[in-house]
Amino acid sequence: MALPLEGIKVIELARVAPHFFATMILADMGADVLKVETPPGKDPRGDSQAVQLGEWASRQEAYKGFNRNKRSIAIDLKAPSGKEVFYKLAAAADVVLEGFRPGVVKRLAVDYDTLAKLNTRIICCSVSGYGQDGPYKFLPGHDINYISIGGALGLFGDKNGKPAIPLNLVADYAGGTLHSVIGILLALMARQRTGRGQYVDIGMVDAVVSLLSMEISQYFLTGNVPQRGEGFLNGAYPCYGVYETRDDRHLSIGCVEPHFWVNLCKAVGREDFIPYQWDTGEKREEMFGALRRIFRTKTRDEWFKELWQKDVTVGKVYSLDEALNDPQVRHRRMVIDVPHPTEGTAPQVGIPIKLSDTPGSVRRLAPSLGEHTDEVLKELGYSQQAIAELRHQGVVS
């Protein structure tokens, strides 16, 4: 069965997880993703995976889910003969995704303007913190900085405390990863009509601002600036929050719609609360206090079972190991076992996009550094002698 992106060739020039994750999504759906990596000793930052040697490194590769379904070639892009190899790859590629600081690919002469002269159909996607222009374009950063400047971090957490850091799920993955995949797919669709590739510029701060569209729309409408812990979706009302249970675990309640709130009030024996779902005065504090006491009377799992049966929007607050063993998660194959030559099997996160006719698949585990160098060079027409000479010069590995 053909995969949806079968025949699409992607070159990955990346250093960090959001970029690896984006190309993994494309690879899971059938794209031929080639990781272009730095040979040992050629990376001035010293963060090449080549420094990891031995059995532990081999085990690590088995579990690097973001690198599955990919091949790896190690090329020194600063060497003229290494650049020549890259140009041959780009001439036949559909997509290049890069995650360097703005200006780096231009200095290396592997930028869109250069590559488009070799291949007018090529799509180049740059993923950076602040985008390719503007006053912050050279400012270094990570997810916590991007969600700060994008306006999201200030909305996470209790209103009486400091902002809560939500892992790197917002700017890195929802921002950088998913927006770059969307951008690439849109460019591929546009190319079907125009026959031309194009440049895709993804700034993670841009994406964070976009993800706040609902809050921003309300601000434009009312002029009221949203505050941490004061919105109906971030802890201001008893109908939408987290409660501690008898076993010192937690339960999430999401009764936004009035009928779910009615079901909850009936389930806990407090029908008198029904008219006050959105109260902002003393009644709200009374309801908070009462629900906190009520939920402490039973365990998390007891409440989940009971409220589920009464059609209440409820969830168990899981630890990660619990989440991975939840029957719904398992049923949806969000944990899969992939065969491995020494590990037996290597568990992997499953594929969340379920396509009925052309589903994605995990066909190979993460490659070691330069594992496919010879294979790829032969595909480009290099002889064994030429490959040996490039390796002798330290241009490939």
pLDDT at 54: 55
Residue 144 has pLDDT above 60, yes or no: yes
pLDDT at 57: 63
| Containing structural domain, residue 300 | 240-324
Does residue 347 form part of some domain? yes
* Claim to verify: residue 371 and residue 297 sit in the same structural domain: no
pLDDT at 59: 72
Does residue 203 form part of some domain? yes
Average pLDDT (38-65) is 67
* Claim to verify: residue 207 and residue 116 sit in the same structural domain: yes
Q: Which candidate in 111, 143, 172, 206 is catalytic? A: 172
Rounded to whole angstroms, the Cα distance separating 104 from 126 reads 11
Residue 15 has pLDDT above 80, yes or no: yes
- Higher-pLDDT residue of 198 and 62 is 198
Residue 196 has pLDDT above 90, yes or no: yes
Rounded to whole angstroms, the Cα distance separating 142 from 93 reads 30
* Claim to verify: residue 373 and residue 319 sit in the same structural domain: no
Rounded to whole angstroms, the Cα distance separating 248 from 34 reads 47
Does residue 235 form part of some domain? no
Does residue 57 form part of some domain? yes
Q: Which candidate in 47, 113, 142, 337 is catalytic? A: 142
* Claim to verify: residue 143 and residue 291 sit in the same structural domain: no
- Higher-pLDDT residue of 274 and 46 is 274
Last residue in a domain, options 324, 347, 369: 324
Does residue 226 form part of some domain? no
* Claim to verify: residue 264 and residue 303 sit in the same structural domain: yes
* 392 has catalytic annotation: no
- Give the CATH number for residue 67: 3.40.50.10540
Number of domains in the chain: 2
Residue 47 has pLDDT above 70, yes or no: no
User: Where residue 43 falls among pLDDT bands split at 50, 70, 90?
Assistant: confident
* Claim to verify: residue 193 and residue 107 sit in the same structural domain: yes
Rounded to whole angstroms, the Cα distance separating 74 from 372 reads 9
Does residue 384 form part of some domain? yes
pLDDT at 46: 53
Last residue in a domain, options 281, 299, 324: 324
C-alpha distance from residue 43 to each of 5, 33, 50, 73, 362 (Å)? 32, 22, 10, 15, 30
* 142 has catalytic annotation: yes
C-alpha distance from residue 135 to each of 132, 138, 139, 377 (Å)? 10, 8, 8, 41
* Claim to verify: residue 316 and residue 342 sit in the same structural domain: no
Does residue 24 form part of some domain? yes
Residue 348 has pLDDT above 90, yes or no: yes
pLDDT at 343: 80
Last residue in a domain, options 324, 352, 372: 324
* Claim to verify: residue 144 and residue 52 sit in the same structural domain: yes
Q: Residues for the chain: how many in total?
A: 397
* Claim to verify: residue 62 and residue 88 sit in the same structural domain: yes
71-124: per-residue pLDDT in tens? 999 999 999 999 999 999 999 999 999 999 999 999 999 999 999 999 999 999
* Claim to verify: residue 77 and residue 194 sit in the same structural domain: yes
351-381: per-residue pLDDT in tens? 999 999 999 999 999 999 999 999 999 999 9
* Claim to verify: residue 130 and residue 251 sit in the same structural domain: no
204-243: per-residue pLDDT in tens? 999 999 999 999 999 999 999 999 999 989 989 999 999 9
Whether the CB-CB separation of 177 and 22 falls below 8 Å is answered with yes
Average pLDDT (57-71) is 84
* Claim to verify: residue 345 and residue 310 sit in the same structural domain: no
pLDDT above 70 coverage of the chain, percent: 96
272-321: per-residue pLDDT in tens? 999 999 999 999 999 999 999 999 999 999 999 999 999 999 999 999 99
In angstroms and rounded to an integer, the radius of gyration of the C-alpha atoms of the chain is 25
pLDDT at 340: 86
Does residue 231 form part of some domain? no
User: Where residue 50 falls among pLDDT bands split at 50, 70, 90?
Assistant: very low
Residue 245 has pLDDT above 50, yes or no: yes
